[in-house]
Chain A
């Protein structure tokens, strides 16, 4: 079943030298599966996520031939109805919990807020759901963590809190925008595990946005490789070695390996592109 279908998505920002297209004609569909979007900084992958969420701030402009989510046309959706989708139907985990959690609101209250603005649960039910969500991201003592402020928890814990906040409403689509790049290597796998487990168990569609080709290959069913605002290649996760496009091949070649010694890592040769 198709959750999200995007055709010819374009995101444009005005600049002194005329409009700049940061996403240039992107097309893909997403079902209840894990789709990885990889690309270097500035390739438009984050903007794609924000465009789907309807969170590209003016003066940025989003256009598409088709932008459908659960059968609804997002292009013409009034802001009020779009807001009702954000949270309960679609959600997004941001990169760095040090910046993405409000510093002056307790963790529990931030999670409960998602429940409070949608639907009419009682305070008691909200609290139960909040504690369940913290439990689901493998936080052992949710009661204590709920009382803490974001600066009192570690990065890995912060990102788990972020995930709890985004899954508490059980959305159908989850966008994860570089969910682990701000974290220590040691907790990355754990956070991804949790995310993956939740997505699988609740049957969500996942859009994993990252610059880390290996990570995406490991966690996703399908991979879109973006370069300069366009998709240059679409691959099954297992078929990474079959990549045809010189950009993808260049990306793969520039990854260091444990079992080899090289003086110098190959650099992407842009003259081929």
Chain B
């Protein structure tokens, strides 16, 4: 029964998302007919194409048609690439997914312990340093950090690969399975490609990870401080529980639920908001695709990409909701 409810809300949310992208498609000042026929077509041609595209039909019918085609995986043709939008997205989304996933792993792996230690040593120099890092994550623009990172680690130190996903002479050598270059090259056993892909992804992913880390560490710290002032922490001390266990078992366990929300939001943010980093690093991801599509008035591509980003957001939210139940006994009853 809860599973059915869950699926139902998921379906309704997704329908709402489709309605939003549909409405956006109707209200933006881009004429989809004009994009196809060009501005020198005659009035008859224009009207004919308009009718062919179904744009004269009633809106509910158009919406139903839109929902149906999306369900069939048809997001229309992209005007700028000449390919099906779904096909384009299947190519660019994994690039973003790979970078954002590595970024969030870095952000969680460093940010959570940093937040916990900052809270445990509130007011100490460790705490101050971590707070400054958190502040820097808010204050430093992503593109600046990307450029400076490239100058130092790529141009000067030559520690990492430059822009792009992989060295040029290796591009297209790995058979595509998941679209995630690190995974595909590992499956193929092509370690040269793996190393090259890693050297390209490590800098942008670390920069994304830094922004995630700043946010996650700051939130972890404040959640932990709240927990550490609770009465059950006193109870644990009365029992003689060592500080290490008080931190991780008694204070950290209850905040896992809150942290999942924070991490989920942060991950969604990396997936949708890495446009700056993708631009600086010439990363062929969804942010780059969306920007190009917008500049070319490529409506189908814009809507398709928006839909994917929206779906990812919904998915992550629903996923963290489901995890709540696992981690918090109070949410189960």
Contact = CB atoms under 8 A, between A and B. Distances in A.
Interface string B234-273: 1111111110010001100110000000000000000000
A100 interface: yes
Contacts of A83: 240, 242
B230 interface: yes
B171 interface: no
B239 A149 contact: no
A138 interface: no
Given A94-B231, A117-B242, A102 B236 contact: yes
B40 interface: no
A55 B238 contact: yes
Nearest to A79: B243
B156 interface: no
Contacts of B242: 83, 117
A117 B231 contact: no
Nearest to A105: B253
A252 interface: no
A214 to B, nearest CB: 26
Interface string B302-333: 00000000000000000000000001111001
A240 B245 CA distance: 45
A87 interface: yes
Given A102-B250, A103-B329, A104-B254, 10 more contacts: A87-B239, A99-B231, A100-B234, A101-B232, A103-B232, A105-B249, A114-B239, A117-B239, A149-B330, A152-B333
B249 to A, nearest CB: 8
A180 interface: no
A86 B242 CA distance: 11
Nearest to A111: B239
A100 B230 CA distance: 8
B239 A113 contact: yes
B239 A103 contact: no
Contacts of A114: 239-241
B228 to A, nearest CB: 10
Interface string A69-88: 00000000000000111111
A118 B240 CA distance: 8
Interface in A93-134: 94-96, 99-105, 113-114, 117-118
Interface in A118-164: 118, 149, 151-152, 162
B300 to A, nearest CB: 47
A86 B235 contact: no
Contacts of B235: 94, 100-102, 162, 165
Contacts of B328: 104
Q: Range of interface residues on chain B?
A: 20 to 34
A92 B239 CA distance: 8
Q: For chain B, what secondary structure do more than half of its interface residues adopt (helix, strand, loop), or is it mixed? A: helix
A230 B240 CA distance: 29
A101 B235 CA distance: 7
Contacts of B249: 105, 113
Interface of A: 53, 55, 83-88, 91-92, 94-96, 99-105, 113-114, 117-118, 149, 151-152, 162, 165-166
A113 B235 CA distance: 11
Contacts of A104: 253-254, 327-330
A97 to B, nearest CB: 9
Q: Which 8 A-B pairs have the closest CB atoms?
A: A87-B240, A86-B240, A99-B231, A149-B329, A114-B239, A102-B232, A100-B231, A92-B238
Contact of A96 (B231, B237, B254): B231
Contacts of B230: 99
Contact of A94 (B234, B250, B253, B333): B234
A166 B238 contact: yes
A152 B253 CA distance: 18
A152 B242 CA distance: 27
A151 B241 contact: no
Nearest to B241: A117
B238 A103 contact: no
Contacts of B234: 55, 94, 100
18 contacts: A55-B234, A55-B238, A83-B240, A84-B240, A88-B240, A94-B235, A99-B230, A99-B232, A100-B234, A102-B235, A105-B250, A113-B239, A114-B240, A117-B245, A149-B329, A152-B333, A165-B235, A166-B239
A40 B254 CA distance: 33
A88 B236 CA distance: 13
Given A104-B253, A149-B330, A85 B232 contact: no
Nearest to B229: A57
Contacts of B237: 53, 55, 86
Contact of A53 (B238, B250, B254): B238
A217 B239 CA distance: 28
Contacts of B231: 94-96, 99-100
Given A86-B237, A86-B240, A117-B245, A151 B250 contact: no
A103 B330 contact: yes
Given A117-B245, A151-B330, A152-B333, A102 B254 contact: yes
A135 B241 CA distance: 24
Contacts of A102: 232, 235-236, 250, 253-254
Contacts of A88: 240
Q: Which of B238, B241, B327 has the most CB of A within 10 A?
A: B238
Given A101-B232, A103-B232, A86 B329 contact: no
A104 B89 CA distance: 42
B173 to A, nearest CB: 49
Nearest to A99: B231
